[in-house]
Each structure stands twice: as structure tokens, then as C-alpha cells.
Amino acid sequence: MRKTYFTPGPAELYPSVEKHYQDAFNLQLGSISHRSAQFRKIYQHTAEQLRTLLNIPESHGIFFTGSATEIWERVIQNTVEHESFHLVNGSFSKKFYDFSNELHKFAHKMEKPFGEGFDYAEITVPEYSELICTTANETASGVQMRPAEIHKLKRSNKDKFVVVDMVSSAPYPDFDFNTIDSALFSVQKSFGMPAGLGVWIANPKMLEKSLRMKTHEATIGTYHSLPTLWKNFEKYETPETPNVLAIYVLGKVAEDMNKTGIETIRKETEKKAKLLYDFAEKSSLVDIFVKNPDHRSQTVVVLNTHKPASEIIETVKNASDLVIGSGYGDFKASQIRIANFPAVNIEQVEALIAEMKKI
């Protein structure tokens, strides 16, 4: 029996994904050269569809990597000469911070307890930090940081770069790419694709910084340094042989999403999130983990469970082949996580709620 995955990544595949992979095989895209006009057209199409979907200015580069995890490393390596600053409130923002230390940078952090979020007003940015690392959606805790707050953070720190980790939220949050400098995500979350591709968006000022660092004898990496990625991007190529099939399918999925319209996707996301949070508020089975409604994620709903989480997960799976995620790390036994990505529709969310109501 086919399952429906409400897990927060890898997640349910977007309905058209399998067909796009089938098309890719029929077009023999697994055999084409990544230095061919055919590949360059694919890269260009994907970049153009992402520009439309996320409203990315023409000036910005769009690059492909093996994972979003890789981009944490590359963005620090290429834009931080000495100091970075991290808003840490969960396992993934913590890892971003750890990477900076591992790369021998001086990493500052402002830390919040698991389940709490950040607002602009309370943040003090250390004077010499070159890069401010923010997380639009903490996949582990279900906490969001709203675009307006991140925009304010950048506006009052114009001399520093602001990068947004959009893993598990893109394309939902409406960021102004003329304000933030960079963003990153992977395809196995909200884009509903098999894992194996990261997407990095950066503005020309980041490229300038990276080039400057290189002349200052800093190590900015090799094939995936920002200058090398950008030089290849200008002709819609990649430094290495990339995941051609995933780049093709991402372009097709973004095209599908553009046909639906980003505003519709955002409204539906909010509608489905409201259904889930409303259910949790009235339920005696679960309650909402994130107390501040402004910080509640619209794409990953985290709930405390009044029974062992595994019992709820098993019951729902056995009854109707709906798969929900367990809590992250220490919260494995006491929380569930429900991904609310575009791949699942309102009927599927309603079916999940109906199933949980039976428990």
C-alpha cells in the first residue's frame, strides 16, 4: 500500500516528480554531457523558474551543490574572513554555527531554548561579524523566523551579509532578495523531490567579498568556491558533473508551482497549517510545542504528545498508511513532527487529522 509521508524531510514527493523523472529517462538525460547546449538549457530553465517562484533578481547567482549542508560550509568559507554570527535555536542552526568553528572562524551566537524563536528587536549583532546566519524554519523544533524580522535585521546591519537557511521552508516564506544577501535550501523538503541537490542563491556583493578574500590569501575552497561556481553559472554550467536529473526535475517542479502560483501555494500552506494547529489546540492527544504564535512554523508543525509519540505514529501508520515524523533528538519520545509541504493537499491533511482524532 502506498504511504503518504508527512515526515519533515525526506518527505512526500510532489505529485509530478515521478513523471518528470520518467521523462528525464525517456529523454536520456542521464547520458548527456554537462558541457552540452542541452544541459545549459536545462540549467537556464531551472534558474528562470526559481527566479519567478522566489522573485530572485537577475543580478543574483543560482548554484547547485550536493546538499544544503554543503552550502553551510561554502557560505562561511567564501564570505567569512574572521567572524560570523549565528541565531541558534535548534539542531540545524547549531550545526551551522559548529561549521564556522570547524573552519577556524570566530563564531558568535545568540542562543534560545528549543522551541523558542527570534524577533529583530532583541538581537544584538557583534560588531565585527561579517555574516549573520539566520534560519527561516528550524526543522527540528518547528520554529520560524518571519521574513519581516530578517529584513529588519539586514536593514540595520547593512555592512554585514545576511544569509537565510530556507531548508524546509522554501518556497513558502516571501523574502526580499534585494534585502537579504543569500539563501540556501535542499530539494527533499518543500520541493518534494528525492534528496541529492542543494540550491544556493547569492548576490554579487558576496562574490566580490570572496574574490577579495582570495587575494588576501584566504582558503575559499576549490571547485565550489563562489568565484568558480559563478564563472560556470554565467554560461549555465557547473564546475563538476552535477546531478543533471535533479536539476532538470527541480526546474519542472518549480514550473508546476509557478502554474499553480506562489500566492496560492502560500495561502494553501497557511490554511493547512491552521487546520493542524486548530486541531492540536482542541485535542487532548497533543498540544502545540511552540508557544508564541508568531514563531510557529507554517511548514513543520511540532506537537507535544500526551501518549508516547511512537504509539501515535504507529497507530496512524497502521490505520491509514499516513507517516508522520517523530520528535527530533531528545524529543523523539514526546513529540511528533508533521510536515506541511506543498506535496500534501488539504484533503490529505484532513485525513490525517481525522485519523488522529480517532485515537
Q: Rounded distance, CA 108 to CA 97, Å?
A: 8
Q: Which helix (H) or strand (E) holds 157?
A: none
Question: Which residue's entry shows cell 553559472?
Answer: 233
The one segment of 16-24, 109-117, 119-127, 129-137 that binds its own copies by CB under 8 A: 16-24
- Residue whose C-alpha is closest to residue 164's, from 147, 141, 148: 147
Q: Select from 22-30, 169-177, 303-311, 349-357 the region that touches its own copies (CB under 8 A).
A: 22-30
The residue within the footprint of its own copies, chosen from 65, 134, 203, 297 (CB under 8 A), is 65
Q: Which is nearer to its own copies, 32 or 359 (CB)?
A: 32
Task: Copy the grid coordinates of residue 171.
Answer: 518556497
Residue from 20, 34, 45, 112 in contact with its own copies (CB under 8 A):
34
The rounded distance, in Å, linking the Cα atoms of 214 and 78 is 9
The DSSP code for 62 is E
Spatial separation of the C-alpha atoms in residues 73 and 89, rounded to whole Å: 19
78 binds its own copies (CB under 8 A): no
Does position 195 interact with its own copies (CB under 8 A)? The reply is yes
Block residue for cell numbers 551579509: 161
In angstroms, rounded to a whole number, what is the distance separating the alpha carbons of residues 280 and 146? 22
By CB under 8 A, tell whether 1 contacts its own copies: no
Binding-site size for its own copies (CB under 8 A) equals 58
For residues 87 to 116, the per-residue mask of contacts with its own copies, x marking binding by CB under 8 A and - elsewhere, is -----------xx--xxx------------
Say if strands 182-186 and 161-165 run parallel, antiparallel, or are unpaired. parallel
Q: Any contact of residue 256 with its own copies (CB under 8 A)?
A: no
> Residue 150 or 226: which CB sits closer to its own copies?
226
Q: What is the dihedral of CA 21, 23, 25, 29, to 10 degrees?
A: -100
- The kind and range of the H/E element at 83 are strand 83-88
- Residue 5 in contact with its own copies, rule: CB under 8 A: yes
Q: Which of 55, 67, 91, 348 binds its own copies (CB under 8 A)?
A: 67
Q: Is 316 in the site for its own copies (CB under 8 A)?
A: no
CB of 62 to its own copies, least distance (A): 17
Burial bucket for residue 261 (CB in 10 Å: 0-12, 13-18, 19+):
exposed
Q: Which one among 153, 163, 164, 193 touches its own copies, defined by CB under 8 A?
A: 193
The stretch near its own copies (CB under 8 A) out of 13-21, 111-119, 175-183, 311-319 is 13-21
- Per rule CB under 8 A, is residue 73 in the interface with its own copies? yes
DSSP state of 10: S
Residue number with CB closer to its own copies (59 or 241): 241
Q: For 239, which DSSP code?
A: S
- Residues at the site binding its own copies, with contacts judged by CB under 8 A: 2-3, 5, 7, 9-13, 17-18, 21, 24-25, 28-34, 65-70, 72-73, 98-99, 102-104, 186, 188, 193-197, 217, 219, 221-225, 239-246, 323, 325
